[in-house]
Chains A and B, each alone.
Chain A
Amino acid sequence: MSSVSESSKPVPAKRKLAAKPHLVQDKVFFGVARAAAVGAVGIVGLILAYLLFMSWETLAKQGFNFIFGSQWTAADPENMIFQIGPMLWGSLLIAFNGVILAVPMAIAAAYFIEFLATSRIAKIATTVVDLLAAIPSIVIGLWGVGVFTPVAAHWAELLNQNLGFLPLFKNEAGSFVGSPFIAGWIVAVMIVPIITSVTREIFSQLDRDVINAATALGASRSSTFMKVILPTSSGGIVGGVLLGLGRALGETVAIFFVLNLSFEINWVDVIEGRGGSIASMIVAFFGAATPEEVKALIAAGLVLFVITLLINWLAAVIVAKAQPWRK
C-alpha cells in the first residue's frame, strides 16, 4: 500500500515560475508602476538630500548653538549667527499647548459620537468634524485674527487676573495679544478633527460585547469609561495625539498671523505676547534673506521636518499596535 507520507522519492527541485510578464503591454504596465515607485522615492530622496546638503554649512558652522542659541543676525557678513532656540522651543510650546487644549475636546467629541449620540446626531457630528478638518489653515488664521484673538486675549487676561500667581500665567508686558496661548488655541482648532477621528475609530472598534457585559454586571457608564474604554484604547489615542502634534508643528500661516515672533526665548509664559515658531519664521524671513540666511532657514526647516518625521513614525507605530485588525 503506498501512502502519502511514506514516499521515498526525493523531493524534486523547485521550478522557476514566470517572474516577468510576457506581453509588451504588461511589461509597460508594470514598468510604469515601477517607474512611479522609483520616481516617488527619487522625489523624497531628492528633497531629503537637498535639505541636508543645503543645511550642512549652517549646521557645521553654528554647531549645537544652532538649536540651543537665541540669536539671529545676518548683518555682519564676517560673523553671521543663526540660532533657532526660541523658534524651536516656541514651535514645541505652541504644539503642546494645542494638544493639551485639543485632547479633552477630541476625546469628548469621540465619546459623544460613539456612545452618547443617537445615530442620526452621530452622523451629523461626524460630518461636522470632517468639515472642520477640511477648512484650510489660512481661513482659520483669518478667523484667528478677525474673531478669535480678542476673545482668547480676554480669556488670557482673566487667567492672569485670577491665576496670575502661577508662573505659567505671568504677564509683565501687559499685552495679551500674539501669545503662544492664542496660537495654541488656533492649532487646537486644527488638530481636534485629527485626534477625534482617530479616537472615534478606536472607540468604534472596541468590542461592544465586552462593554455591554460590563454594564450588564452593573458597571456604571463612568466606570466603564474609566476602566474599560480608556485603558483599551489609550494606545490608539496616544497615536492620534502624536499625529495631531506632528500637524501642529508644521502649521505655518495661521500661527504667523496670531503670534508675535520674538528671539527672546519664552519658556513657559504662555500668555505673554511673544513666542516662536520655526514655520512662521521661515515665512517671515525668506523674502529679505541673504543666500547664507536661506541656508540657515533650510536647516531650520530640516530640523522641523526631522522632528515631525520622528513623531509621525512614532504615531504610526503606536496606532498600528493599537489596531492590529488594520493589518
Chain B
Amino acid sequence: MSEQQTATTSLPRPDQSPWQVRDSRKTRNLVLASVLPAIVSAAIALGMNIDATIAMLLIFVPLQLVSAGFVGYRIFGRKGIADASLVIFTIFFSALVGVLLFSVLFSVITEGAKAISPQFFLQNNVYITSTTSLEYGGVGHAVLGTFIIVGLTTLVTVPLGIALAVYLTETPSKARGAVRTLVQAMSGLPSVVAGLFVYAALISTGFTKYAGWLGSLALIPLMLPTITRVAEEALRLVPVELRNGALALGAPSYRAFFQVTLPAAKSGIITAVLLGIARIIGETAPLLLTVNYANNTVLNPLESMAALPTYIYQNLDSANDTSLQRAWGAALVVLIFVGIIFTAARLATRPKTAKQKVDKNV
C-alpha cells in the first residue's frame, strides 16, 4: 500500500491519469506563476498601503490568473489559458476551505490551551463569576454531565437503532420503505425543535422541571437516524451468503444474526455508535431548552445538570474576557472528545480492511 503510494509520487505517471500534475517543469511553472504575483501584490499592498483583502482579491488573484494563463498558453496553447484559470479558481476556493478550518482549529487550540490546566478538568463552576481568575474553576462538572446525558441517550438509542436496522434488513415486512423514510425524516428535525418539543410537553406544562434526562430524551430523535442509517448499511454489507450459510446449517434466525451477521458487521456497528455520539455530543439548543445549566457537580439526571455545550453557551453569553477564555477551553475539550471519537471510528474500520487485504493476497 505505502509502497504503491511512494511509487505514485516519485514516478511521473503516463497518460492514463492526465489529471495529476506531476511534471517537474509544470510544477516549476506553477510556482513561478503564483510566487511572482504574490511578491508583486504584497509589494503593491505594502507600498501603497492598500487593504490586505482588497490586495488579495483585486491584485493577487487577477495577477495570478494572468501569469498562470500565460504559462498555460506557453505549454498547451490556447486551451492552456482556460485550464490555468480552472486550476487557479479550484485552488483558491479549496484553500479558502482549508484556511477557514485551520482558523477554527488554530483558534480553539491556542485560545483553549490558555484556559486548560489540570484544575480545569477537575473543578466545577461553583463560586465562579465572570471576573474570577482562570486559576479557579473548570469544566469537570460539565464533562461528567455530558457523559451522563449523552450516555443515557446512547443507552436507549443504540439498541433501538440496531433493532430498527435489523427490522430493515432481516424482516420481509412490506412497511420497511415507509419506516426508513420516516426515521430518516427525523434527520431533518431541527435540534432546537426537538428541545422545544420536550420543553413544551414536559416542562412548560409543569410536569417536571429542567432535568438531565429530559436532555437525553430530546437527543434521541437526533441520534436515531444516524445510528439506524449507518447500522443498516453495516448489516447490508454482510454478504447474504454468510447468513444463508448459517441458516442452511439449521440455525434459527436469531442465532444466525447474533453469531454470524452481527460479528461480521461489528466494526460497522461500532462506527454507527461513534458517529451517533459525535452527532449529539455538541448539541446545545436541545439541552438549553430541557436541562438548563448547573454550576455545581450534579450526577443525578433528575435534576438540572451541566454539559460542555451549554457551558460554552453560558460563558459565551456573559461575554467577558475570562468567561470567553473558559468557553475556548471547553471548546477545546469538546474538540478533543470529538477527535477521540473520530479516531476511534477510523480505527474501528481499519483493521478489518487491512485483514481483508491480507486475505486477498493468500
Contact = CB atoms under 8 A, between A and B. Distances in A.
B35 interface: no
Contacts of B147: none
Nearest to B197: A47
Contacts of A39: 160
A134 B338 contact: yes
A209 B97 CA distance: 30
Given A139-B108, A139-B331, A220-B76, A36 B190 contact: no
Interface in A248-302: 249-250, 252-253, 257, 279, 282-283, 286, 289, 291, 294-295, 297-298, 301-302
A189 B5 CA distance: 31
Nearest to B281: A136
Interface string B309-333: 1001100100000001001100100
A33 B103 contact: no
B92 A283 contact: no
B200 A54 contact: yes
Contacts of A108: 89-94, 97
A304 B93 CA distance: 31
Contacts of A252: 190-192, 284-285
A13 interface: no
A116 B163 contact: no
Contacts of A246: 188
Contacts of A130: 342
Contacts of B108: 139, 142-143
Interface in B129-164: 160, 163-164
Given A32-B163, A119-B5, A147 B200 contact: no
A131 B346 CA distance: 12
A29 B257 CA distance: 9
B170 A141 contact: no
Interface in A146-181: 146-148, 154-155, 158, 162
A57 interface: no
Contacts of A23: 252, 254
Nearest to A44: B182
A41 B173 CA distance: 14
A130 B285 CA distance: 23
Contacts of A249: 190
Contacts of B316: 138, 141-142, 145, 257
Contacts of A30: 170-171, 253
Contact of B190 (A35, A131, A146, A308): A308
A63 interface: no
A34 B342 contact: no
B301 interface: no
B196 A138 contact: no
Interface string A24-52: 01101110111111011101100100110
B313 A253 contact: yes
B104 interface: yes
Contact of A283 (B87, B200, B285): B285
Interface in A301-327: 301-302, 304-305, 308-309, 311-313, 316
Nearest to A22: B252
Given A220-B79, A305-B189, A116 B93 contact: no
A40 B278 CA distance: 21
Contacts, number: 276
A51 B164 CA distance: 24
Given A139-B104, A148-B103, A154-B53, A223 B192 contact: no
Given A108-B93, A137-B284, A222 B278 contact: no
Given A29-B254, A136-B309, A252-B284, A40 B101 contact: no
B164 A37 contact: yes
Contacts of B281: 136
Contacts of A257: 316
Given A50-B201, A138-B309, A212-B18, A37 B167 contact: yes
A183 interface: no
Contacts of A116: 19-21, 87, 90-91
A241 to B, nearest CB: 15
B16 interface: yes
A135 B334 CA distance: 9
A250 B166 CA distance: 30
A84 interface: no
A96 interface: no
Most chain B Cβ neighbours within 10 Å, of A30, A35, A41, A148: A30
A65 B182 CA distance: 30
B240 interface: no
A257 B192 CA distance: 15
A298 B197 CA distance: 7
A120 B1 CA distance: 11
B101 to A, nearest CB: 5
A250 B221 CA distance: 14
B284 A301 contact: no
A-B complex: 3 closest residue pairs judged by Cβ atoms: A136-B282, A250-B190, A108-B93
12 contacts: A40-B179, A40-B182, A40-B228, A116-B21, A136-B283, A141-B316, A222-B83, A250-B188, A250-B190, A253-B284, A279-B190, A279-B192
